[in-house]
Structure 1
Amino acid sequence: MGNKIKVLIIDDSALVRELLKRILSKDQEIEVVGSTVDPIYAIKKLKEFKPDVITLDLEMPRMDGLTFLRKLMAVIPTPVIIISSRAEKGSEISLKALELGAIDVVLKPSAMLQSSFFDIEEEIIIKVKSAAKVNMTELRKQARKKIASRNEVTPATIQLLQSNTDKIIAIGASTGGTVAIRSILEQLPANLPGILIVLHMPVGFTSSYAESLNASCRLTVKEAVNGELLRKGFAYIAPGGKHILLKKSHQKGYFISLEETPPVNRHRPSVDVLFSSVTREAKNNCIGVILTGMGNDGANGLKEMHDNGAWTIAQDEKTSIVYGMPKQAIKLGAVDEVIPLQEMPNAIVQALQK
């Protein structure tokens, strides 16, 4: 077989390092090239082993995980999976790690037992493999980028949107999506039609993520609530662990339905579930956007939207952290427009006028 994925483990617990090594070594495509007690020691290991992926704890002696992550992305950008007991309930530190460039987060079991770790064995292996495929040049650029201006959508364009209250905007993303969605929403005007968003995030993370976005966007950004009506100027993030669907009532208009039906494409929420529901209820009066992400979730749903006359947009390969979801949608013939991430806000506004 080809070259294995080289993994470096950074954790101050000898037990955790040993357990992670056992778990990762079970997969024939992965090789644990080293482990170290803290980021200071890790610097030598980085130069020696040149790992493809790093697993990183957040609480360690001498240098905390966030400080190390920030320095790493500035000097030697490397895919990082956070495995930490502090990665719970969408904690601020976990969201900060994702903003700094971490690929994903795994909650370390509170009980330091072998059986507890093996319960999350599959999750760890899948996330490490996904991390090995990311576009680190683009991830580093996005993580460090500051929006120079939030006024790219002109007042004249905003005025033209006043009558488009019945349209629906649906967005789906996965790996790299936290930064991508932020960069889009922060540049959109406040009076857009309702936006529904699926991002593959663990239970508990979406509320904190939505609050963080709400503080920096003109739009009101919130975690979706079952049964609430869609409102102009609002962006709704699907809660982790629940599918989000668009529904329509003759009396009330569009509203949100949250369901705990089985995962689709191994995900709940699933982008396909959202896109399919938008097609059923809004027909061609909607816009579908598929962003960076591993796998194919959202490709079939976007094809449904496209075939029913909706305008569909995909992020291009160059600016995608992982060119999985957009690539699959394009292969299916589901996409009207393929554009770089930085052009997404204006593309969405222009699509509303089509």
Structure 2
Amino acid sequence: MRGLSSALLLTLLACPSPTPPAPVDAGPVALPCVQNQDCNDGERCSQNGQCEVIPPCSEDSECARYEYCSRHEQVCRTRDGFGNECEEDAQCGLSRFCALGLCRDAGEGLPCARRADCPVGQDCDQVHFYCIPSVGCDLAELFPETACEPGENCHPVSGRCQRDGAAECTEETQIQDCASGEFCYEGSCVQCVSDENCGPGLRCNHRSGFCESENICRRDEDCDDSENQYCDLITRMCLPRPDPCTSDLHCSFSERCDVITGLCEPLEGPCRDDIHEENDSFASATPLVFETDQLRMDHLALCPDDDDFFAVFLNRGDRLEAQLTDLRDGARIDVYLVA
């Protein structure tokens, strides 16, 4: 028995160790991404920043809200002008807003009250009131910023906004229906349909149907020669850039020369924002609380190329009147009341 035990022990020690199991294939590793172009063919960038396989589809309802179903490919594709960066303003941070699924900088946006305030190819965001790429109105339930303006409805076929109800005028009634200097064109009272209808130095804004200055601007980039011209935010005109100043003698009576920047500035120094900054967007608007039927706001400052937003909560039937007082000589300001 002693020899058998020894032989058995030796046999057990000589047995080879079991072969480890083959690792389980977990599939391809998801790549980090910021946009769809960072992913391989057949993949898209998900909201968690990882590439994922684009699922097959047969209709738009099977895709994300910013996507459509490509019928011939049978996969979901991102709509032109849209993204999946955000769904609400809170995801974008301070002084930024979410429109068409993309975070946008309010400081770089062009404020608007209506479509006519925006360049061709852009519409007025009906939530934040900045110009955004024109994408039609048929997705307004998912993207309320693309809704039509008051007095309009979304055409069910074209997906574009059109005027509600009857036409504003006809050629037969344009004298009674339209103001002096206007005529009826396709049911609307307009000043122009081409530059030929406007006087010297004016051009036709085809979106609004009214004449405006050829030299009108909102920022330096609107000028034909932005290197040698700048946009005067008071007159909204493109003016030649002045030669850099080297002393106060090169500036007006109420200005002094900043020899570092070469620019003339007010004697009291550069414009300083008021205590309500940063209130440069609808999301960061300063709330106003009425303790009586009137509210006076003193010591407000609005610097050039700046937008300030104030929020007022009204009940049905309330009326609001806003007045600006004690404006500086030569000051020009655009004020919008938006509901």
When normalised by structure 1's length, the TM-score is 0.27
Higher relative contact order (CA 8 A, sep 6+): 1
Greater Rg by CA: 2
